[in-house]
C-alpha cells in the first residue's frame, strides 16, 4: 500500500474515532485525577456525563465521514454510527442509574472505568480489524473487573469479581485463539478484505481452519453474551454484584458481543453462500447454541425467586433469541434483498433489549425496602398500589421482555422470527422454522416468570413498605426506558430503518466496481493476501 494513501487513511480513521478518544481521554484523566482531588461522587458523575455528551456531539459531527473499507481499522458506516449512538445513549442511562452507587473516595475510578467501558464498546461497534476488535473487547472487559471489585468490599463481591475475572480472561484467550485462525483463513486481518477474499476464493482453502476459527470465536463471544455453554457465571455474578453492575453486565457485554459476532463472524463467513460446508457447519453450531440457550435460560428462570438471578437467567434466554438471529445471519448469503436480514433483527432486538432490561434493573435500583435493597419477587408485593409509577415502569419493561405488543420487545421477537422464516439453506428452511417454533414456545414459558412479577406487584397485597431512592436521575432513566419501550412499540419505524441500514452496511463488503481478481490456486492462503484494487 502506498504510504501516502495509508497515511490519509489513518488520519481519516483518527477523525472518525474522535468520540471514542474524547471518552477515553476523559476516563484516563478521571482515573489519574481521582487520588489528587477529593470531590463528591456527584461531581465525578457530572464530569462523566459531560464527556459522554461531548462524545455524542462529536459523533454527530463526524457522522458524514467515511473511511476506506479495505484500509481502515475502523468504519463509520451505518452500523458504526448507530451502534455508537446506542452505546452513548445507553451509557448516559447507565450513568444515571449509577450516579449514587460508588463511595466518594472511589467515585473517580468508578466513573473513569465506566467511561473506558463505553469507549471500548464504541470501538467494537466500528471495528473493521481483528486486532482492533479484540482491543475494543478487552477495553470493555478490563474496567469491568475493576468496577466489580471497587464497588463494595464484601466477600461476596470479591468472589464475584474473581469469578468473573478468571472466566473472562479464559474466554478472551479462546477468542484470541479463534481470531488467529480467522486471520489464517485468508491471511488478512481487515474484516472487509477477509470477507471479500473468501468470496473470491473458490472455497475457503482450509475448511478445518475456518471451523476452528468459528468455534473458538463463537465460544469466546458466547461468554460475553452469556450463551450456553458459557452462561454459568451470569447468575452468580449478577446476584453477587451491585444492581447497577448487574444492569451493566446484562447489556454492555451482550450488545458488544453480538455486534462483534456480526462484524467478525457472520459477515465474513456467510459470504460463501449457504451451500458452503463451512457455512453449514457454522449454522449448525449456532443453531444448537441458540436452542440450548433459550431452553436453559427460560427453564431455570422459572425456578428463581431472587430478582437479580431471575433477570440473569432472563438475560441468558434473550441471548438465545438473539442467537437465532446469528444463525440466520450465517445463512444469509451474499445476495442482497432478503425480506429480513438476520443481523437486522439482531440490531433491532438489541436496542429493544437495552431499553427493557435497563428499565427493569433501574426500577430495582430505585427501590428500597426495610433498610435494604429489593431482592426477591415477594419484596415487590403490592407495589402496583403503593408505588404506582415504578410499578408501571417495571410492568411495561417486563411485558416488553415477554414480547407483548404494542411494546418494543414484541417487534424484536417479530423481526427475529420473521428473519428465521425468511432464511433457508438452499431449499431447506426446516431447521430455521424449527428454531422459530422452539423460540416461540420458549417465549411462552418466559412470559410466565415475567408475569409472576407483574402478578405479585398488582394482585398481591403489600407486605412491607417500599420507598423510592436514587432521586431524579434514576427516575429519569427508568422513565426514559419504559416510555421508549412503549413509544418504539407503537412507532418502531426509526429503529427498523436504522437497523436495516446497519445490516446492509454490515454485510456490504464489495467495492463500488469490482475489478478482476487474480487468486492463486495454491495450497497456501497466507500468500494470497493481495487486495489488488487497494494496492497500486
Taking CB under 8 A as the rule, which mask of x and - marks residues 14-53 in contact with other proteins? --------------x--xx-xxx-----------------
The one among 124, 289, 356, 422 contacting other proteins by CB under 8 A: 422
Q: CA 249 to CA 245: how far, in whole Å? A: 6
Nearer to other proteins (CB atom), residue 330 or residue 340? 340
Binding track, positions 442-471, relative to other proteins; x by CB under 8 A: -xx--xx--xx--x--xxx-----------
Neighbours of 163 (CB within 10 A): 16
Q: Is 329 in the site for other proteins (CB under 8 A)?
A: no
**Total site size for other proteins, rule CB under 8 A:** 59
CA dihedral 371, 448, 254, 115 (to 10 degrees): -30
305 binds other proteins (CB under 8 A): no
Nearest Cα to Cα of residue 300 among 226, 212, 200, 193: 226
Minimum Å gap between C-beta 524 and other proteins is 6
The widest CA-to-CA distance across the chain, in whole angstroms, is 75
Considering only the stretches 88-96, 121-129, 253-261, 415-423, report the one whose residues sit in contact with other proteins under the rule CB under 8 A.
415-423
**Could you tell me if 24 and 78 are in contact, meaning their C-beta atoms sit under 8 angstroms apart?**
no
- In angstroms, rounded to a whole number, what is the distance separating the alpha carbons of residues 242 and 235? 13
Minimum separation from the CB atom of position 8 to other proteins (A): 9
Q: What's the closest the beta carbon of residue 146 comes to other proteins, in angstroms?
A: 13
Contact flag: residue 428 with other proteins (CB under 8 A): no
Report, in Å, the least distance between residue 70 CB and other proteins. Answer: 12
Q: Does 59 participate in binding other proteins (rule CB under 8 A)?
A: no
441 binds other proteins (CB under 8 A): yes
| Residues within window 182-221 making contact with other proteins, judged by CB under 8 A | 206, 208-209
In this complex, which beta carbon is closest to other proteins, that of residue 305 or of residue 524? 524
**Grid coordinates standing for 457?**
406487584
The reply to whether 273 sits near other proteins by the rule CB under 8 A is: no
How buried is residue 370: exposed, middle or buried, by Cβ count under 10 Å (0-12/13-18/19+)?
Answer: exposed
Phi, psi dihedral angles at 314 (to 5 degrees): -65, -35
**Strand ranges (E), 401-469:** 466-468
Residue 533 binds to other proteins (criterion: CB under 8 A): no
Query: 97, 101, 102: which is closest to 481 by C-alpha?
Result: 97
529 binds other proteins (CB under 8 A): yes
One-character DSSP codes across 459-495: HS---S-EEE-SHHHHHHHHHHHHHHHHHHHH--HHH
The residue assigned the cell 450516579 is: 99
Binding mask 123-162 for other proteins (x = CB under 8 A): ----------------------------------------
Exposed (0-12), middle (13-18) or buried (19+): which is 458, by Cβ within 10 Å? middle
Among 229, 494, 514, 519, binds other proteins (CB under 8 A): 494
Q: How far apart are CA 254 and CA 316, in angstroms?
A: 10
Which chain residues interact with other proteins by CB under 8 A? 1-4, 6-7, 10-11, 28, 31-32, 34-36, 206, 208-209, 339, 399, 402-406, 410, 414, 417-418, 421-422, 433, 436-437, 440-441, 443-444, 447-448, 451-452, 455, 458-460, 491-494, 496-497, 500, 523-524, 526, 529-530, 535-536
Amino acid at each position: 500500500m502506498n504510504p501516502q494513501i495509508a497515511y490519509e487513511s489513518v488520519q481519516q480513521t483518527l477523525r472518525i474515532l474522535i468520540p471514542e478518544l474524547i471518552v477515553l481521554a476523559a476516563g484516563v484523566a478521571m482515573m489519574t485525577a481521582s487520588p489528587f482531588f477529593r470531590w463528591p461522587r456527584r461531581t465525578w458523575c457530572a464530569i462523566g456525563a459531560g464527556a459522554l455528551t461531548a462524545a455524542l456531539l462529536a459523533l454527530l459531527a463526524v457522522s458524514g465521514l467515511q473511511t476506506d473499507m479495505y484500509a481502515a481499522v475502523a468504519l463509520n458506516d451505518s452500523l458504526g454510527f448507530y451502534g455508537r449512538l446506542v452505546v452513548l445513549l445507553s451509557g448516559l442511562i447507565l450513568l444515571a442509574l449509577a450516579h449514587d452507587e460508588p463511595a466518594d473516595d472511589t467515585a473517580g475510578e468508578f466513573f473513569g472505568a465506566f467511561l473506558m467501558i463505553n469507549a471500548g464498546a464504541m470501538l467494537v461497534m466500528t471495528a473493521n480489524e481483528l486486532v482492533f476488535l479484540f482491543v475494543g473487547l478487552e477495553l470493555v472487559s478490563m474496567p469491568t473487573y475493576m468496577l466489580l471489585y471497587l464497588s463494595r468490599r464484601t466477600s461476596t463481591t470479591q468472589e464475584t469479581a474473581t469469578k468473573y475475572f478468571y472466566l473472562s480472561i479464559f474466554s478472551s484467550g479462546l477468542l484470541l485463539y479463534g481470531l488467529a485462525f480467522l486471520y489464517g483463513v485468508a491471511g488478512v486481518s481487515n474484516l472487509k478484505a477477509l470477507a471479500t477474499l473468501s468470496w473470491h476464493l473458490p472455497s475457503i482453502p482450509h475448511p478445518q481452519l475456518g471451523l476452528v476459527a468459528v468455534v473458538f470465536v463463537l465460544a469466546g463471544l458466547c461468554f460475553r453474551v452469556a450463551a450456553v455453554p458459557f452462561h454459568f457465571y451470569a447468575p452468580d455474578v449478577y446476584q453477587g454484584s451491585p444492581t447497577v453492575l448487574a444492569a451493566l453486565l446484562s447489556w454492555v457485554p451482550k450488545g458488544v458481543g453480538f455486534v462483534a459476532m456480526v462484524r467478525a463472524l457472520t459477515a465474513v463467513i456467510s459470504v460463501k453462500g449457504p451451500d458452503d460446508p463451512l457455512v453449514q457447519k457454522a449454522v449448525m453450531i449456532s443453531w444448537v447454541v441458540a436452542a440450548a440457550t433459550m431452553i436453559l435460560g427460560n427453564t431455570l428462570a422459572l425456578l428463581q425467586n431472587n430478582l437479580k438471578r431471575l433477570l440473569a437467567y432472563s438475560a441468558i434466554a434473550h441471548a438465545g433469541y438473539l442467537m437465532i438471529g446469528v444463525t440466520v445471519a450465517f445463512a444469509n448469503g451474499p445476495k442482497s434483498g432478503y425480506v429480513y436480514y438476520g443481523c437486522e433483527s439482531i440490531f433491532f432486538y438489541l436496542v429493544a433489549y437495552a431499553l427493557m432490561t435497563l428499565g427493569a434493573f433501574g426500577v430495582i435500583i430505585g427501590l428500597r425496602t426495610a433498610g435494604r435493597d429489593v431482592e426477591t419477587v415477594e419484596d415487590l408485593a403490592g407495589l402496583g398500589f403503593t408505588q404506582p409509577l415504578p410499578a408501571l415502569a417495571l410492568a411495561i419493561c417486563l411485558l416488553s421482555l415477554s414480547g407483548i405488543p404494542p411494546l418494543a420487545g414484541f417487534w424484536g421477537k417479530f423481526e427475529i422470527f420473521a428473519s428465521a422464516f425468511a432464511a433457508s439453506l438452499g431449499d431447506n428452511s426446516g431447521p430455521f422454522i424449527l428454531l422459530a417454533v422452539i423460540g416461540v414456545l420458549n417465549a411462552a414459558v418466559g412470559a410466565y416468570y415475567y408475569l409472576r412479577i407483574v402478578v405479585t406487584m398488582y394482585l398481591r397485597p403489600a407486605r412491607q413498605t417500599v420507598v423510592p431512592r436514587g432521586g431524579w436521575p434514576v427516575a429519569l432513566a427508568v422513565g426514559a426506558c419504559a416510555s421508549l419501550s412503549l413509544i418504539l412499540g407503537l412507532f418502531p419505524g426509526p429503529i427498523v430503518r436504522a437497523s436495516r441500514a446497519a445490516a446492509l452496511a454490515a454485510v456490504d463488503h464489495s467495492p463500488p466496481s469490482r475489478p478482476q481478481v487474480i487468486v492463486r490456486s495454491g495450497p497456501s492462503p497466507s500468500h494470497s493476501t493481495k487486495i489488488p484494487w487497494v494496492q497500486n
